[in-house]
Amino acid sequence: MDLSDVVAKRYSVRAFNDQPVSEAALKSILETANAAPSAGNRQAYEIVVVRDAKRRRQLAVASHEQWFVAEAPVVLIFFANPERNRERYRERGVSLYCLQDSAVACAYAQLAATALGLGTCWVGSFEDRAVSEILGAPASWQPVAILPIGQPADKPRPRERRPLSNLAHHEKAGSE
């Protein structure tokens, strides 16, 4: 699959069957995330990999009962780790770059999973503290995204995007 096919194929999968995700597929997804750009190559994020069923259920509860999080055989949790940036980048690294690093890595993981025929859904609606407690994360790590990964058990539905003429501003903000 070339990149445009992968991008076109990706959609938010909110139902998974019980087919497992192989270690090889997981490794490939993590390696792709690890290849994502980051500010100063500091990679100010951490990824927690969860396969345990009980923990997946706890994460689903912490995500306001988005049960598909528990359905997926593998769940990745992307945390910003501001301490990796503090010394080099100060406030901007702590409040911005580490969140951006986490987001780019998560987006790369989504595309890698799609390329392997797997489905993902970026879950951003969750109780930060509950997620950190479930995973025993240090207080300084900020959960950014929960990414369930598995074999899709639903179908993509049409969704709209803003027209480029509205989204892309040429030369000046607000222009078309």
Of residues 25, 79, 16, 102, the one with CA closest to residue 53: 16
The single residue among 122, 130, 140, 154 that binds ligand FMN, judged by CB under 6 A, is: 122
Residues sharing a CB contact under 8 Å with residue 133, sequence separation 6 or more, in sequence order: none
Site residue total, ligand FMN (CB under 6 A): 10
Q: Does 123 bind ligand FMN (CB under 6 A)?
A: yes
Q: Which helix (H) or strand (E) holds 75?
A: strand 74-80
**How many residues make up the chain in this entry?**
176
Contact 132, 143 (CB under 8 A): yes
Query: Nearest-CB residue to ligand FMN?
Result: 124
The single residue among 14, 101, 116, 143 that binds ligand FMN, judged by CB under 6 A, is: 14
Enumerate the β-bridge partners of residue 149: 74, 120
Residue whose CB is less far from ligand FMN, 157 or 172:
157
Instruction: Classify burial at 85, counting beta carbons within 10 Å of its beta carbon; exposed 0-12, middle 13-18, buried 19 or more.
Output: buried
The single residue among 9, 12, 42, 154 that binds ligand FMN, judged by CB under 6 A, is: 12
Q: Does 125 bind ligand FMN (CB under 6 A)?
A: yes
DSSP tag of 136: T
Q: Does 70 bind ligand FMN (CB under 6 A)?
A: no
Q: Does 5 bind ligand FMN (CB under 6 A)?
A: no
Q: Which 37-66 residues touch ligand FMN, going by CB under 6 A?
A: 66
Binding stretches for ligand FMN (CB under 6 A):
11-12, 14, 66, 121-125, 159
